[in-house]
Amino acid sequence: MSSKILIIGAGGQIGSELTTKLREAHGTENIIASDINTRNLDLVNSGPFEIIDAKNFNAIKDCCKHYNIDTVYLMAALLSATGEKYPMEAWDLNMNSLFHVLNIAKGGTIQKVYWPSSIAVFGPTTPRDHTPQHTTCEPTTVYGITKQVGERWCEYYHKKYGVDVRSLRYPGIISHKTMPGGGTTDYAVEIYHEAIKNGKYECFLSENTSLPMMFMDDAIKATIDLMQAPAEGLTIRSSYNLSAISFTPKDIYESIKSRIPEFKITYQPDFRQTIADSWPSSIDDSVARQDWKWQHSFDLDTMTDTMLSELKKKYL
């Protein structure tokens, strides 16, 4: 019998591409996409889809029962910038959705859970360069607090109840299909859209702010590779550090400008600058590379080539 997978928050930036990849790998009928709304029409029309509010325990439980779900990817979350505007909503969604899924998994019907963490678990007291897997985590954002606490709960449910929960600390993710929403790293997606549409971009971070980033194809590969890895090889049940590239707004601007010479950038840092300043500039992910042989493929220039050629198809 094939595995039946539920993706909660499937309409979002990562959820939408994860759904497509999992449908290609396991068959459309085996991947149940769900979100709180039907805004992402491609997703709604391309296979099984359910409206689920991730804060609603019974809605998740009923769906798991109805489809005989054995694996859940919980991708719904309020990100760093939105979390600062709506702290209680971020806490409510990010924590309760995780408890719901972990508690259903503890009951024994779900065999495996994926839950994303983030570089936001780190804070100003964390070593900024090549941030190690095990280090000081004193996040200053609500989002970061939810991810840090969530990691502790994942490890707890694994050790105490044997829940097979797996997690990655995503860096900023760059993609051309679904826009991100409410993150501090979103500038690195917006800049490509604006370069193609308007030839100029006003960046909300300062030019030398270096942050860890990753192209979507690498993020999806990492997620699926981790979920397919044999459980015995996994030494981390909180969340794995994950890394590909690090760059500043100036670096990405130059990468685009070498392909679109008339492209212009201005810098107008806002409240997101403080968030970015509290995060690492690069990540040491050697434990992931060792435990489940993680390797990234995209560097800044290969990512720029792909982003620009895909967005040209969309806009020009």
Which residues here bind ligand AKB, judged by CB under 6 A? 79-80, 118-120, 143, 170, 172, 183-185
The CB-nearest residue to ligand AKB is 183
Give me the least distance between CB of 13 and ligand AKB, in Å please. 8
Write down the least CB distance from residue 283 to ligand AKB, Å: 11
Burial group, residue 255, by CB count within 10 angstroms (0-12, 13-18, 19+): buried
Find the Cα–Cα–Cα–Cα dihedral 138, 143, 145, 150, rounded to 10°. Answer: -130
Instruction: Pick between residue 118 and residue 246 the one whose CB is nearest to ligand AKB.
Output: 118
Q: Which amino acid is at 196?
A: I
CB of 250 to ligand AKB, least distance (A): 19
Q: Which residues on neighbouring strands pair with residue 51, listed in sequence order?
A: 35
Q: How far is the CB of 243 from ligand AKB (least distance, A)?
A: 12
Where are any strands of DSSP class E within the chain? 5-8, 31-35, 49-51, 71-74, 112-114, 117-118, 164-166, 168-170, 172-174, 200-203, 211-215, 240-241, 245-247, 264-267
In residues, how long is the chain? 316
Rg (CA), the chain: 19
Count Cα neighbours of 68 within 13 Å in the Cβ-side half-sphere.
6
Among the listed residues 114, 143, 240, 253, the single catalytic one is: 143
Nearer CB in complex with ligand AKB: 50/186? 186
Between CA 3 and CA 26 the distance in angstroms is 8
Annotated catalytic, 157?
A: no
Compute the least distance from the CB of residue 170 to ligand AKB, in Å. Answer: 6
Nearer to ligand AKB by Cβ, of 216 and 265: the residue is: 216
Residues marked active site are found at 143
